[in-house]
Structure 1
């Protein structure tokens, strides 16, 4: 099990190794969390900034990288939460996608 901390709320959730972050919807039972939309990496609703543990969320794939660049988030600390798998402790916060 690995700890995922959601800021600024300071909510800690424990998820199994390699769990998809989309499991937060079930774990938090409706508490304020990361807003998931399409869950396929196509809408940008779930952009997060990784404050700690960026290497514990897997690598950005080429399609995710290109999409985040188009949204204005080229830095590797930004991810689409729906594309992440937790492999160690991490701290993240949801980010509102810029309006282009």
Structure 2
């Protein structure tokens, strides 16, 4: 679909699931897609709770830039490295694969 990108999600409790989301949609928008409810744990939706922590496994270049506040909070959660992100803060800009951590 034009203007849409694939977000591939894996977790310890679910097999690989693919979602088609519009360009610039937050990763957490999968909850509005068929089969997407409760796949990514959600809390505050503003990057303050850490419930939606994910690890980007491919497509780093197809995700919005990580801000300093998000990076600092992820370190407080005990993770470091650019692959760790808060799903509520990520905008989809291309094909991306993630693993649910939070």
> How does the TM-score come out when normalised to structure 1?
0.89
Q: 5+ residue gaps in structure 1?
A: none
Q: Distance in 1 between matches of 2:36 and 2:67?
A: 29
Q: Distance in 1 between matches of 2:96 and 2:77?
A: 23
Q: Distance in 2 between matches of 1:68 and 1:74?
A: 7
Cα shift at 1:28: 3.4
Indicate if the aligned counterparts of 2:6 and 2:95 stay in contact, CA closer than 8 A: yes
Q: Distance in 2 between matches of 1:28 and 1:47?
A: 21
Aligned residues: 96
> How does the TM-score come out when normalised to structure 2?
0.87
Q: What is the aligned partner in structure 2 of residue 15 from structure 1?
A: 21
Q: What is the aligned partner in structure 2 of residue 36 from structure 1?
A: 42
Q: Pick from 21, 25, 32 the counterpart of residue 26 of structure 1.
A: 32
Q: What is the aligned partner in structure 1 of residue 65 from structure 2?
A: 59
| Cα gap change, 1:30 to 1:6, in 2 (>3 Å) | closer
Q: 5+ residue gaps in structure 2?
A: none
Indicate if the aligned counterparts of 2:5 and 2:22 stay in contact, CA closer than 8 A: yes
Matched, 1:50 2:56: yes
Question: Following TM superposition, where does structure 1 have runs of at least 4 consecutive aligned residues deviating by more than 2 angstroms?
Answer: 28-32
Cα deviations across residues 15-34 of structure 1 (Å, max 9, x unaligned)?
A: 11111112111113554511
Q: What is the aligned partner in structure 2 of residue 88 from structure 1?
A: 94
Higher mean alpha-carbon deviation, 64-73 vs 21-30, is at 21-30
Cα deviations across residues 51-96 of structure 1 (Å, max 9, x unaligned)?
A: 1011211111011011011111111000000000000000001103
